[in-house]
A and B are shown apart, each in its own frame.
Chain A
């Protein structure tokens, strides 16, 4: 049962056909905390998120979310999670208003033919307020900027009242000020709302200060721990296969060359 851990992964191995996507990954994540997962392309970051959601059946290993075994009870485990998929995977062909999108995740849990209650609408409002998008209630999603769309998707995840948010590349294709704004929102959720935040990203630098834990993944778990214990030359070399420069500023280490898309 719930033992203070948001996620417990043990000996997780995932294969796509013959190809190994994740090999023998084990870690525990306390609740609430802010975890950033980095690694080169194809290193299994998204696979790990999907495994936690129970969208992928692992070859072996176990995954628990707030003490619930995902392999045995994916539905119950998913109720703890608000998921924000990669924005590129979302269709802009469907004309939907912002409020309808935020409502979507909540209503999905009730099954077909349900109408939103006053309580549902209240939660949608609160979620949009948390991400600063309440003024866009009636706007068409496809007309919003990338950063605004991202915030709406975060609101959709918040509207289901999750204990944990999983975000896949929330900073892709958004400019730096927007990146900052989104990061602020996520950091506040962690600090004020006690929501565990797990995000996958290419560029670790902006996230370092906010992260309680950093995970470096390259099919195997290369490193996992507090930012300053993880951001080290030899660790990054192992993950990316190339020397990556690190500088220290105010006690925090920064990666100079960033992701090389190895």
Chain B
């Protein structure tokens, strides 16, 4: 492994850890309802920028860690993240070549589907008690996507 690759790997783990921490950061309940899934956003960034190195298995492991971190049934987040990863990997060539606005539309769909799967698996544990605001994290995630992409891209370039 060349030095740049190694640095990249450290950066990958660092960005994910930061996203994990943002995920469990205590926030006021009103903000909590619209807080985006930072981990999934960072994961999507890495899936799109390094599709040959980072794949479904990474999505599975990260999802498992999130389950442990947030006390869900093991497998809830992996199922959502694996689906998102599959979509990203099949669409990554197209996503790299379209404009940011169009990209955002795809990101919204991916976030929404992943969230729907996680919400649906919640019903195994207790009756579904979603409210109409349940899709807001997908929307806020879409709005944050250009920021996340820009920041991670700049940092990654800085490492090269």
| A interacts with B | no
Chain B interfacial positions (CB closer than 8 Å to A): none
Chain A interfacial positions (CB closer than 8 Å to B): none
